[in-house]
Amino acid sequence: MHELPVVESILNIVMKHAEMNQVQKIVSISLIVGELSDLEAEWMQHYFDFLSNDTLAEGARLKITYTPIILRCPQCGHSFQVKKEHLTTASCPSCAHDGKFDLVSGKEYYIKEMEAY
């Protein structure tokens, strides 16, 4: 259910930009979402459909691209991709460090673009 406030925020942002640019209809919204954000595309679209009812964004499709989890080794500075299921057992492929890592990418979500007329 944590998708609801996120989607509400996205809708508010696109509606603000639509108003500033005198948009008549929002067709789609492209989103970048990190794998660790736990935001599910199906629920995001479901909540968006509900919240956008009777707005310029009614019927718009969310186009979601998931970004991988990227960690940076604090020991050697090497950045590398890791799967969610291997996050707790990750080790640096460059120096074999297996302690804590800095998260470079994977939790973000933002609007990339909006298709409108």
Domains, the chain, with CATH or none: 3-116 (3.30.2320.80)
**3-state percent breakdown (helix, strand, coil) of the chain, nearest 5:** 30, 30, 35
Q: What is the pLDDT of residues 60-106, one digit of tens each?
A: 999 999 999 999 999 999 999 999 999 999 999 999 999 899 999 99
Task: Find, among 6, 3, 45, 36, the residue nearest to 108 by Cα.
Answer: 36
- pTM greater than 0.75 (yes/no): yes
